[in-house]
Amino acid sequence: MTRPISVWNTAPTSAPAQRKDRYVPGSAAHPAKMHPGIAAHAIATYTRPGDLVLDPMCGIGTTLVEALHLGRNALGIEYEPKWATLASLNARAAAQTSGTGIGIVRCGDARRLTDLAPASARSEVALVVTSPPYGPSVHGQVRSSRETGEPGVVKKDFRYGHDRANLAHVSTDRLLEAFTEILAQCRTMLRPGGTAVITTRPWRERGELIDLPSAVLAAGQAAGLVPSERCVALLAGIRNGRLVTRPSFFQMKNVRDARRQGIPLSVVQHEDVLIFTKSGTSRSSGKLKGLQGELQGRPGSLSSMGPGVRGGAAGAVS
C-alpha cells in the first residue's frame, strides 16, 4: 500500500480519457460517474492485491473496474437494472483484461446490502469506495449546435431515471437517513480495521449552500464508523505547478450567472474525500478463498465473467 496523502493528484488527464477503451458502449450516459482516478488512488492506497473492494452504489461499475485492473476482488450493488447490467459488463471486460480476481454485481437496494452480498464476503471487505447521489440533476453532457444542427447547446444525460424510489429523488434529510443505513451495512461488510472512502461535494439549492461533506461525515459516525482522514481529490490537472481546470459548459455558466447576481461563486475542481475506518485490528479470515466456489454452486442469479471470475446478472432483486 502507498502512503496516504491529503491532496490526491487524481486527474492528470480528464475522466473521459481515463475511461477510454475500458468501458462498454452506453456507460458514458450515467449522470454521476465515479471519477476513475479517485477510485484507483483509493484502492492503491488502502488495499493490497487480492483484497475485496465494495461499492454499494456502483453505477456503471467504475470502482469495480479499477479494483479488478489493480488485481483486487470487487463487489458492487446497483439499484437501477440498466446500470447494473452495464456494471456487470464493465467488470467482465476488466476481469478478462486483468486475468485475476472475482467480480460480482448485484442489483438491488444498498440498504439490503448484507442480504444481497455473498455470505462469505461479510466482514471480509478491505475497502468501501462510494459516493452519495447529489440530487436528481447532476453534471451531464453537452451537445453543441454542430452536433444537433440546432442553435445553442443541449444538455443530455444529466438526470437519474424516473423511479421515485431512487435516493437521488428524495429530500436531503431522507437521503442522509438512507445513506446512514447504507454505511451501517457497509460497516458490517468491512473487516476489522477496514477502510471506507466516501467522495462528495457541496452544492447550491435555490442559492443556499448544502454542506453535504459535513453531513456525510456525521452519517458515517452515526453508522458506527470512525473518521480517520479528510482529503481532497483533484478534478483538475497540474502543469508547471499550476492547476489546469476542466470545467463543464454548465459549471462555467452557473458561476458567471451567480457572479452577475453578486454571489462570489467559484468553479469547483475537487472532491471532498472522507475516510473512515472500522474499529479493530486489520485482518482477513481467509474466507474469500471460498468465494468463487460458493458462487459457482449458487443457482440462478450468477453468470460467468471469464476464467476464474464470476459476476451477478442484472435482474432486479426483490
Give the model confidence (pLDDT) of 161-218 as tens digits.
556 556 555 577 788 899 999 999 999 999 999 999 999 988 766 667 778 899 999 9
Q: Which residues pair with 270 in a beta bridge?
A: 234
**The dihedral formed by the CA atoms of 215, 218, 224 and 229, expressed in degrees to the nearest 10:** 90
* pLDDT tens, residue by residue, 238-289: 998 888 888 777 778 778 888 898 888 788 889 999 999 999 876 666 666 6
**239 SS3 class:** strand
Pairing of strands 226-234, 7-8: parallel
Output the CA angle 52-286-198, nearest 5 degrees. Answer: 25
**110 φ, ψ (degrees, to nearest 5):** -60, -15
Separation between Cα atoms, residue 300 and residue 295, nearest integer Å: 10
* pLDDT tens, residue by residue, 285-308: 666 666 655 544 333 233 333 323
Residue 137 per-residue DSSP state: B
Q: Which CATH superfamily is domain 11-312 in?
A: Vaccinia Virus protein VP39 (3.40.50.150)
Mean pLDDT taken over the chain: 81
104 vs 137, more confident: 104
Average pLDDT over residues 136-165: 52
Q: Is the pLDDT of residue 1 over 80?
A: no
Average pLDDT over residues 218-236: 96
Question: What pLDDT does residue 31 have?
Answer: 75
pTM: 0.81
Cell of 203: 452544492
Output the CA angle 8-219-276, nearest 5 degrees. Answer: 40
Separation between Cα atoms, residue 53 and residue 72, nearest integer Å: 7
**Cβ contacts of 27 within 8 Å, gap of 6 or more:** 19, 33, 60, 86, 90
Residue with cell 479528510: 230
Percent of the chain whose pLDDT exceeds 90? 51
Separation between Cα atoms, residue 239 and residue 191, nearest integer Å: 39
- Whether the Cβ atoms of residue 28 and residue 141 lie closer than 8 Å to each other: yes
Question: What pLDDT does residue 231 have?
Answer: 96
Separation between Cα atoms, residue 112 and residue 102, nearest integer Å: 21
Question: What pLDDT does residue 35 have?
Answer: 93
- Whether the Cβ atoms of residue 89 and residue 311 lie closer than 8 Å to each other: no
Domain boundaries, the chain: 11-312
